[in-house]
Chains A and B, each alone.
Chain A
Amino acid sequence: MLAIDARDVEKTFRGGAIRRRLTHALRGVSLAVERGAIVGLLGPNGAGKTTLLSICATLLTADRGSLTVLGLDARTDARAVRQRLNMASGNASFLWNLRPPEILAFYGRLYGLTGARLRRRVEELLETFELIEHRRAPYNELSTGLKQRLALAKSLVNDPELLFLDEPTLGLDPDVAARLRRHIASLRSSRGTTIVLTTHYMREAEELCDEIAFIKAGRILARGSAADLKRQIGIGEVVALRIDPGLTDVLSAAPGVLRCLVVNEWTECTVDVASERLPELLRLLYDKGAIVHAVALREPDLEQVFVELAR
């Protein structure tokens, strides 16, 4: 069953009072997200990731196309959809004077929580995100990490079936970001929450997401698991060699070698099919009298896929 079924979604922003500017943010995007999945939206700045996320969260309306969220039409049943989803972003902000429990209680009431149940939920969220010792601090006195944790806590106040995370670890220290990622993963495993997130961190996408959609210039260029994407892009595999002498020029000219770089002590050759090219490269090196100290095969990482697609 699908949590999100977006078909041919288009969005154009109009700007400029005198000279009209049109920005085509989405150009016929289709996206299907299974319930309980974690899906990542990747792409360069201005690709349309946040626009797509915001349309799915009913914060923006699409110009064209159809959108069903949790089995409901996002346009005609928007309020019912909103009851069942929530969103947190890396640059989230709340009223500067309010304290964490007050912020959580405020949003809890908006989602229909009252009385003892509201108080219990607020306490649970404060405890879960270890915000209890900061309960007296006004929002503007919290650190970036605490603000981010509070934003995530707020996004869970209604126990959403569908959660949108817009660059949730933006600007966080690596250890805090790692903990936040564990939070996100545990949400799916323990609550069955469907999560759609945007990120610039490839490691985050690779670690968290079952599926990744790569967006550029308002279009989804590729989608699938991280491994699928690497295969789809066909950017080859890396044969890393520790050889003496380097012979980079010779290796670069060999059949099937896409490029050759020296990284530290390793000569890294990106080849089309490693299993076929490795024996040929070793034979060539033997013929040239080179000594091979070590050989390693590596898959390209998602970052290379990103760079390739973003070109």
Chain B
Amino acid sequence: MSWRADRGWRFERGWRPESGWRREIAAVWAFTLRNFQMASRNVFLLFELFFWPVMGVATIGLMTRFLRLGREETSFVLIGQMAFSIVGTCQLDVAYAVLYDFWSKSLKHHFLAPIGIRHLTVGCWLVGILRGTLVCVLTAVLSWWAFRFNVLEAGVLPAATLLLGCFLTAWIVGVCVCVLIMVFGAPAETAAWASINLVLALSGIYYPVSTLPAPAAALADGIPLTYFLDAYRAHFGFAPEHGAPIVTGLALSIVYIGLSHWALAVSVQRARRSGLLLKMSE
């Protein structure tokens, strides 16, 4: 018995790879499709999508009833809970860009291929956006049905802006988790789950940022989500704590996206130098 290769190779010679934007899309789509395939076959990822968001809205909503919070306060807290679920789900997908391959010890194959950091993170972020949108719809429907909180009460544009802020923050946090893994390897794995809680606690998910101690409030001012939450809550009768929150949030996001991608590129280069890239693939 012999394999076909012994009897000659069939596939075409001299092909040229796609160039320009088609190539960019192909590389991004590779990661999008891969993360989607992985997500669709993993029961734990379904938990991320349905169980935790539903439990979050249900418990926080019931707590508002017990505490007899008014309509505005209930909205305030539920907005925070929804943002928590959306950012948490989306950032994990970005972190999976490196985590999946870290777990399966296949990381070196990515960095052997002629791709850039952007393909890795954008491709995974797109799946995060899809899953984050599903979480948003699910929690919005539950909030309306159980607690009469209408996400679209302030209009579609403010809700979409908040969603955009959540996705941008998730992208930044996810890339930062990838950087930590590329620098520290296995010990940084828990950062994938821990870091988002720190970011969300600082950005005032259940309370105004002004209630934080001064040093923590100063840190909160550096987090884009703080501004997007502030802008959205203003539509529910809460005085904005920052001037031009959306512009500030977007500007900060752009800066952090650039910085985090630069840091990831540097950490990959460092891993090539130190041999960590190979160690993580053995």
Residues in chain A within 8 A of chain B (CB atoms): 13-14, 50-51, 54, 57-61, 79-80, 82-83, 85-87, 91-98, 102, 105-107, 109-114, 117, 120-121, 124-125, 127-130, 138, 149, 154, 158-159, 179, 182-183, 186-187, 190-191
Q: Which residues of A contact B109 (CB under 8 A)?
A: 92, 94, 107, 154
Q: Which residues of B contact A109 (CB under 8 A)?
A: 26-27, 29-30, 33
B111, B112, B277, B282 interface centre (most CB from chain A within 10 Å): B112
Contact of B17 among A113, A130, A138, A191 (CB under 8 A): A113
Give the docked Cα–Cα distance between A241 and B260 (Å): 73
> Are the C-beta atoms of B18 and A102 separated by less than 8 Å?
no
> Are the C-beta atoms of A14 and B114 separated by less than 8 Å?
no
A50, A110, A127, A149 interface centre (most CB from chain B within 10 Å): A110
Tell me if B's interface is mostly helix, strand, loop or mixed. helix
Q: Which residues of A contact B68 (CB under 8 A)?
A: none
Q: Which residues of A contact B112 (CB under 8 A)?
A: 57-59, 82, 85-87
Q: Which residues of A contact B18 (CB under 8 A)?
A: 112-114
Q: Measured between C-beta atoms, what is the minimum distance from A296 to chain B in Å?
A: 33
> Are the C-beta atoms of A60 and B278 separated by less than 8 Å?
yes
Q: Measured between C-beta atoms, what is the minimum distance from A309 to chain B in Å?
A: 25
B274 at the interface (CB under 8 A from A): yes
B64 at the interface (CB under 8 A from A): no
B123 nearest in chain A by CB position: A109
> Are the C-beta atoms of A93 and B105 separated by less than 8 Å?
yes
> Are the C-beta atoms of A102 and B37 separated by less than 8 Å?
yes
> Are the C-beta atoms of B278 and A59 separated by less than 8 Å?
yes
Interface string of B119-151 (1 = CB under 8 A from A): 100000000000000000000000000000000
A13, A91, A97 interface centre (most CB from chain B within 10 Å): A97
Give the docked Cα–Cα distance between A127 and B13 (Å): 17
Q: Which are the 6 A-B pairs with shortest beta-carbon distances?
A: A112-B17, A109-B30, A110-B113, A82-B114, A124-B11, A83-B114
> Are the C-beta atoms of A79 and B114 separated by less than 8 Å?
yes
B38 at the interface (CB under 8 A from A): yes
> Are the C-beta atoms of A182 and B6 separated by less than 8 Å?
yes
Q: Measured between C-beta atoms, what is the minimum distance from B96 to chain A in Å?
A: 10
From 1 to 16 in chain B, residues with beta carbon under 8 angstroms from any chain A beta carbon are: 2-6, 8-13, 15
Q: Measured between C-beta atoms, what is the minimum distance from A261 to chain B in Å?
A: 39
A91 nearest in chain B by CB position: B282
Q: Which residues of A contact B33 (CB under 8 A)?
A: 105-106, 109
With known contacts A91-B282, A110-B27, A113-B17, A186–B113 Cβ distance under 8 A = no
> Are the C-beta atoms of A83 and B272 separated by less than 8 Å?
no
> Are the C-beta atoms of A13 and B274 separated by less than 8 Å?
yes
B19, B29, B273 interface centre (most CB from chain A within 10 Å): B273
